[in-house]
Amino acid sequence: MFGLFKSDPVKKYRKEYEKVLQEAMQAQRSGDIRLYSELSSEADKLYQKLKASEPSHP
């Protein structure tokens, strides 16, 4: 019952991952390759956290 109010870490990581990917895309379109590279690296780290926190299926 109280699990209803518990935050879902997978959902949090996915939302942050999508946000960083959007920022990276905008940086690439504006020609800021350095920022694009930094944001892509950050997105990759978030992706690794996302995959690690997802429940594995048999």
pLDDT in tens, 5-46: 677 778 888 999 999 999 999 999 999 999 999 999 999 999
Q: What is the model's pLDDT at position 20?
A: 96
**Which tokens go with 22?**
């959007």
Token pair 């990276």 in the structure block, residue: 24
Distances (CA, A) of 42 to 4, 24, 36, 39: 30, 10, 10, 5
Reduced to 3 states (helix: H, G, I; strand: E, B; else coil), residue 31 is coil
Measured distance CA(51)–CA(47) in Å, rounded: 6
Predicted TM-score of the model (pTM): 0.76
User: Is 53's pLDDT higher than 90?
Assistant: no
Measured distance CA(55)–CA(40) in Å, rounded: 24
